[in-house]
């Protein structure tokens, strides 16, 4: 079975995150064994992104959501840096600015949606408005609970306009998160990433899990599915996501556009001379 089928959250299904093993390794035993498959998926993604760009009719939106240190940045570094930067954009969503707060919650998100031909990765997204906002009670329940429908409508509109949407929740265990915080603490290259608020947020783990379950259950559908990716093993997380993205792009029916000019005509006009590089005599 492909990971697309295995990890998709079926529309209408109940999600029990506590029953999904974050350390799952699927059909693979180790990174070494999986490495050739990861490389093949990355090659395929690169090839298909070129087609997407050339085709210019559709676009791809990848949403990454997770608790701190679950690997959003790692996914971006490992899976998208192989693509042509011309057609790929990463957008990070932090706490909204005063201007953003003065608009509806989808305003900043819509502005950054992919144009035709583009791949856009959201590092956090509009889902923060039903996750952190809910957990910290930044707006009343009646406000955030209405947002699921608004999100579904918004995403349906993007899809109708030619965008494929794939949403990934990177699923790690609390102990794996603590290990990763500790590694950051001990690594001079990454100490800047640690903040005490990361440790405070950890205490809210069960509330976040509840918020994630609700959000995913309400917004996983055929047009914009969610995937829960076991992410304790970084290589497995990369493997599964790369496979899902490349399978999806493969099914988008992308093709090179036909040339807009008469090739035979151009050949005759500019390349007929024996030495085409010879300067023309006046």
The DSSP bridge partners found for residue 120 are: 61, 89
Nearer to ligand ATP, 192 or 270 (CB): 192
Question: Min. distance of Cβ 13 from Mg ion in angstroms?
Answer: 30
Residue 125 contacts residue 169 (beta carbons within 8 Å): no
Nearer to Mg ion, 59 or 65 (CB): 65
Distance, in Å, from the CA atom of 94 to the CA atom of 255, rounded to the nearest integer, reads 36
Question: Min. distance of Cβ 93 from ligand ATP in angstroms?
Answer: 5
Question: Min. distance of Cβ 96 from ligand ATP in angstroms?
Answer: 5
Task: At 190, list the tokens.
Answer: 């990454």
Helix residue ranges, H only, 8-139:
31-55, 72-80, 98-101, 107-111, 132-135
**Cα–Cα–Cα angle for 205, 210, 212, nearest 5°?**
90
Residue carrying structure tokens 């809210």: 204
Question: Min. distance of Cβ 236 from ligand ATP in angstroms?
Answer: 19
Nearer to ligand ATP, 194 or 252 (CB): 194
Nearer to ligand ATP, 133 or 240 (CB): 133
Q: Rule CB under 6 A: which residues touch ligand ATP?
A: 68, 73, 93-96, 124, 128-129, 132-133, 193
Nearer to ligand ATP, 28 or 184 (CB): 184
201 in contact with Mg ion (CB under 5 A): no
68 in contact with Mg ion (CB under 5 A): yes
Question: Min. distance of Cβ 31 from ligand ATP in angstroms?
Answer: 22
Describe the strand order of the beta sheet including 59-66 as a list of residue ranges: 88-92, 119-123, 59-66, 163-171, 226-230
User: Footprint of Mg ion on this chain (CB under 5 A)?
Assistant: 68
């Amino acid at each position: 079975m492909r990971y697309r089928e295995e990890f998709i959250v079926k529309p209408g299904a109940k999600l029990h995150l506590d029953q999904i093993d974050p350390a799952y390794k699927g059909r693979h035993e180790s990174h070494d064994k999986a490495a050739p498959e990861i490389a093949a998926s990355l090659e395929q993604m690169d090839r298909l992104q070129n087609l997407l760009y050339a085709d210019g009719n559709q676009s791809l939106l990848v949403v990454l959501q997770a608790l701190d240190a679950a690997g959003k940045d790692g996914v971006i570094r490992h899976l998208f840096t192989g693509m042509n930067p011309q057609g790929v954009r990463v957008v990070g969503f932090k706490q909204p600015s005063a201007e953003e707060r003065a608009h509806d919650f989808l305003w900043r998100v819509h502005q950054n949606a992919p144009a035709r031909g583009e791949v856009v990765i959201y590092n956090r997204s509009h889902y923060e408005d039903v996750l952190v906002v809910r957990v910290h009670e930044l707006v009343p329940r009646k406000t955030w609970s209405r947002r699921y429908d608004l999100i579904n409508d918004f995403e349906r509109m993007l899809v109708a306009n030619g965008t494929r949407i794939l949403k990934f929740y990177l699923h790690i265990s609390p102990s794996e998160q603590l290990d990763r915080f500790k590694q950051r603490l001990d690594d001079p290259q990454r100490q800047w990433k640690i903040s005490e608020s990361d440790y405070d947020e950890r205490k809210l783990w069960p509330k976040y899990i509840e918020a994630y379950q609700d959000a995913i259950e309400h917004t996983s559908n055929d047009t914009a599915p969610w995937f829960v990716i076991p992410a304790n093993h970084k290589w497995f997380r990369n493997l599964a996501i790369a496979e899902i993205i490349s399978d999806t792009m493969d099914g988008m029916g992308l093709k090179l556009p036909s040339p807009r000019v008469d090739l035979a005509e151009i050949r005759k006009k500019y390349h007929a001379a024996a030495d085409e590089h010879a300067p023309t005599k006046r």
